[in-house]
Structures are given as C-alpha cells and as structure tokens.
Amino acid sequence: MQRHDNSTQSKGSTVVPHFPGANPRERGRIKRDDSIGATATSSDRSRPRPAARQTIVAACCVVLSMTAGALAVVPSAQADPPDPNAQKKQLDSQINQSKADLHESYDQLSKSVAAYNQAETQYQAVQARYAAVQGKLAAAKAADVVAASKLKAAEQALTTAQANVAEGQKEIAAKQALAGRAVRSAYQQQNPLVGLSIVLRGASPADLASGMQVQRNVFGITGNAITNLNNAQAQLANKQAKLAEAERIVAEQRAEAARTVQEVTALTQQVATQKAAAAAVTATRLVAQQAAEKDKNSELAHYQSLVAERSRVEQILIARARAEKAAAARRKAAAEAAERAKAKKEHRPPKHVPDPPDTDGGLSFPINTYITSPYGMRFHPILHYWKLHDGTDFGAGCGTPIHAAASGTVTDRYYNGGYGNRIFIDHGIIGGDSITTVYNHLSRYKARVGQHVKKGQVIGYVGTTGYSTGCHLHFMVYRDGRVTNPMKYL
C-alpha cells in the first residue's frame, strides 16, 4: 500500500528528515515501516540544516546510523494542503475502513462481540424451544401409541358385542317361532268342545282327569316358551346396551387417537421449524463468532502495531535525547572553560555558568477543551489484558486548530495506521530533560517539517485518522525519549 502525504514541498524549503539522523541525500531511497505494512518514498530535496542544530544532528547521525532502515521517510510539505475530507477518504481506504477508538475497545470488535452475544442468546433460546418441542413430540407419540392400543381393544370389544347382539337376535327369532307354535297348539287345545266331548262320551272320571292333565301340560309348555322368549329378549337388550357402550367407547378412542395424530403431526412440523431455526441461528452464531475472533485478532494486531511504533519512536528519541544532552553538556563545558579563561585573565574567581533558561515556561494545553481519556493503564474489557494509554485525549470537533505546546522545531510528520496523521515537535532541553511532543489523528497539517514554531502557533487540525472512531487529539509527551504522562508538564 503506497502512502502519499497531503502536501508537496515548495522549491527552496528546508526539510529535516524524520528524526534527524538520516542522510538527506539518501532520503528518497529510504522506505519506512509505519506499523501497518505501508511504505512511502520521497523525492524531497534538502538544504543545509540550521546552524543551531548542526552539532545535535551530527551526533544523531552517528547514533542512528544503525537504525536508518527503520526511519520513516517524511513526505514533502506545501503551504496549502488538499481538502481534508478527500485525504480522510484516502486514509480510510488505506486502512480498509478499520476505524476504532485508539484507547478504548475497538469499535468493530465491540459490535461483533455484541452480535455474537446476541446470537449466542438466540441460539440458547432456540435450542431450548427445540428441546421442549422434541419432548412434547415424544410425549405425543407415546400418547398416540396408548390411544391406538385403547382403540384396538375398544374395536375388538365392539366386534364381540356386535356378534353377541346378532346371536341374541337369532335366538330371539328361534324362540319367537317356538312360542308361536306353542300358542297355536294351546289355542287349539283350549277348544270348549274338548271338555264337552269328554262329558258326552260318558267318560269315566279317570278319563276326565287324564284330559285335564293334557290340557295343563299344553298350557305349561306354552308358558315356558313365552318365559324363554322374555328371557332371551332381556339378554338381547343387555347385549344391545353393551354394544351401545362399546360403540361410545370406540368413538371416544377414535377421537382421542385423531387428536394424538393431529398433535403428533403439528409437533412434527414444529420440530422441523425449530430445527431449521436452530440451524439458521447456529450458522449466524458461527459467523458472529468468526467475526468476533477476527476482530479480536485485528484489535490485538492494532495494539501490537501501536506498541511497535511507540517502541521504534522511543529508540530514536532516546538516541536523540542523549545527543541533545551531550551537545548541551559540551556547550556548557565550553562556556565554563571560557568563563574560567576570562576569570584567569581578569585575576578573579570564575562565575557559575547557569543552564539556559526555559523561555516558554513549560508546556501549555494544545487545545483548550476537555479531557476524554487520561494517560495510564487500561484493562481491555474483551481481550482481558492491560494496555497502556500512552497519551492524553482531548475531545474536539474535526477541524479544531491544534497549537504547539511549546516552541520548538517540527522534526517529522507522517501517517501511521494506528496513530493516523502525526506531527512531532522537538522542544530541546526543558528543565534538564529532552522534551518532544507528538500530536496524533490530525485531519491535516499546518506546519512543515524543519519549521521552527512558537508556543501557541497552529500546527494542524483535529481529525479522526488512523485507529480512531471519533474526532479527538491524542497528545503525547516523550521525556528523554520515553513516553510519559503529559499532565506532568501541563
């Protein structure tokens, strides 16, 4: 990915290489690592450095010669940079729309983890519904088996009852025929002429008695036939009642069996629906899980790139701080030697040579606004590790002017995938320490590399470039080359 700065150098302008030490004539061939794999080249022309920094630069050249390959090339400058919106789109494209807040949880990671948690909740719910409907289906199938068994027994009982009724009806028919014959015979035997003929024939008493016995026998047979018929009819009525009960039970069992079949059918459909829903939620959960893992890895990679960038800068600034302090010590030693020579010539004790005063009186706020996130360690709520928030965040709208915290020289400005557009100002020795301030996430620059700026001068504008989800300034202070809490100096 080729990185382009949003400015070009005007002819004859002074360019100081990124963290003094790189050979100005070799800057065009240097490629720098900006922690996200982006490289850049420059065709800037150079001119001799300001005399005031000749000694420092010479010392840095020796110390940093071994790390020149890691130095980032600083693009050229121009007075009127391109439109910040166009530059922001270009930068967003370069980091593949991977935007997040630098010091809190990665925005996309938070969204993906929230999506995964939601998918996990839905997954648990649909699995519970799926298990519940499977249980209901199993119970319905068991009830269906019981209902089918009851229906079979009831139908068998109905068949038996129907056979018993048919047999009873046949028996009734037979007994009705027998009773009819008996009645007809009795009717014939009950003719009044029978008794008269016995009397007229002058039958003896024995004969008369015999005739009456026959008549009684006939009447007895008729009575038995009628009794048997009545009993058979009673039995048939009982069998018909049992048949009706069997028919009622069969109807109930058929209705129950139909209900269980219908319930099994409906639950089978529900199981299929819940199974499909479970499969869909499972797929969604898997996608969300993969996205969350990907964004976790991205978050970790971004943080590691920030740590690598901070470590790289610290190595360079430590070397520069040592060179600055050594140069300051040599200047003081030279001044003390001159004072001693002068005192000897004037035949007096030498005077104390003080350190150069801090004309600016320390650092001031780069923008007059509120602090959104202070310097310090942060516990990552998703990755569960501690990381350093290496600066102080000032909340402000994009385009808000940023002021130099103290007078100094702009040593570098470039784009980094995590810190976005950065600008470095070397303030020299303040209070005995080498102080460098860094301003990050700028939308565009106002000061060029090599320019000496005064305290309070506008050097750029607030933006949201790099690893950031909102407009803010991430302000950093390096003391003797190591990052420290900016609030100690504000």
Q: For residue range 362-410, what is the model confidence (pLDDT) as tens digits?
A: 899 999 999 999 999 988 777 777 888 999 999 999 999 999 999 999 9
Q: Tell me: pLDDT of 489 over 80.
A: yes
**What is the bridge-based pairing of β-strands 408-416 and 401-403?**
unpaired
The pLDDT of residue 337: 93
Q: What does pTM read for this prediction? A: 0.51
The string of pLDDT tens digits covering residues 420-457 is 999 999 999 998 899 999 999 999 999 999 999 999 99
Q: Is 317 exposed, middle or buried (0-12, 13-18, 19+ CB in 10 A)?
A: buried
- Alpha-carbon gap, residue 329 to 336, rounded angstroms: 10
User: CA torsion sign, 398 to 404 to 405 to 408?
Assistant: positive
Query: Facing residues of 479 across strands?
Result: 435, 482
Segment 250-253 long-range contacts (CB within 8 Å, at least 24 positions apart) = 250/151, 250/154, 250/155, 250/157, 250/158, 252/154, 253/147, 253/150, 253/151, 253/154, 253/155
3-class SS of residue 22: coil
DSSP letter string, 152-220: HHHHHHHHHHHHHHHHHHHHHHHHHHHHHHHHHHHHHHT-HHHHHHHHHTT--HHHHHHHHHHHHHHHH
Q: In the chain, what are the domain boundaries?
A: 121-283
Token readout for 375 is 């310097």
Reported CATH class of domain 121-283: mainly alpha
Q: Distance of alpha carbon 133 from its chain centroid, rounded?
A: 28
163's tokens: 């056979």
Q: What is the mean pLDDT of residues 299-326?
A: 89
Q: Which of 471, 304, 285, 234 is nearest to 372 (CA)?
A: 471
Instruction: Single out the residue of 94, 112, 70 nearest to residue 298, CA to CA.
Output: 112
pLDDT band at 284 (very low <50, low <70, confident <90, very high): confident
Q: What pLDDT score does 276 carry?
A: 85
For the segment 62-76, the average pLDDT, to the nearest whole number, is: 35
Q: Which two tokens stand for residue 45?
A: 């022309």
Tell whether the model's pLDDT for residue 192 goes beyond 80: no
| Residue 453, token pair as written in the block | 């700026």
Q: Estimate to the nearest angstrom the gap between the alpha carbon of 377 and the chain centroid.
A: 25
222-240 pLDDT, tens digit per residue, is: 667 678 777 877 887 887 8
Model confidence at 148, pLDDT cuts 50, 70, 90, reads: confident
Q: Give the CA angle between residues 429, 317, 455 to the nearest 5°.
A: 45
Cβ–Cβ contacts within 10 Å for residue 350, how many? Answer: 15
pLDDT at 313 over 60: yes
Dihedral sign computed on CA atoms, order 291, 293, 297, 300: positive
Report d(CA 349, CA 336) in Å as an integer. Answer: 12
- Of 50 and 321, the structure prediction assigns the larger pLDDT to 321
The whole-number average pLDDT for the span 191-212 is: 54
Euclidean distance between CA atoms 417 and 280, whole angstroms: 37
Question: Mean pLDDT over residues 293-305, rounded?
Answer: 83
CA 332 to chain centre: 61
- Read off the DSSP letter of residue 446: S
